Amino acid sequence: MTTAKFEPGDPVRVRADEKPGHVRTPGYVRGKTGRIASVLGEFRNPEMLAYGGSGLPKQHLYKVAFRQTDLWKDYPGSPDDALYIDIYEHWLEPALRSDPRQATSRRG
């Protein structure tokens, strides 16, 4: 087992890569900033498994919180509303703590 790169509360940015084929990271969160809500463990990479690969090495999977207002321009709900998405570590990079786009919710 390897050490997780991120911990709950860490601000992260989802890579904005456009990858063809089977990916598990929704397009609407790519390039967006959120906050790690929890570390879910290590799992084989489903993007490799989809094409008959071993999925190894295992990847850490995180529950990431995003403010709805950061994802949807005309979101009519509360600015505190959050969407939680499970995202593999290879899609995440550290975000600046002072980034005003990061999710404020710390619920998990």
- Residue type (1 letter), 107: R
The 10s digit of each residue's pLDDT in 35-83 is 999 999 999 999 999 999 999 999 999 999 999 999 999 999 999 999 9
When the pLDDT of each residue in the chain is averaged and rounded to a whole number, the result is 89
What CATH number does the domain located at 11-94 have? Answer: 2.30.30.50
Are 45 and 90 a contacting pair, CB within 8 Å?
yes
Query: How far apart are the C-alpha atoms of 72 and 84, rounded to whole Å?
Result: 14
pLDDT confidence of 98, banded at 50, 70, 90?
low
Q: What is the predicted pLDDT for the residue at 17?
A: 87
What pLDDT, on the 0 to 100 scale, is given for residue 24?
85
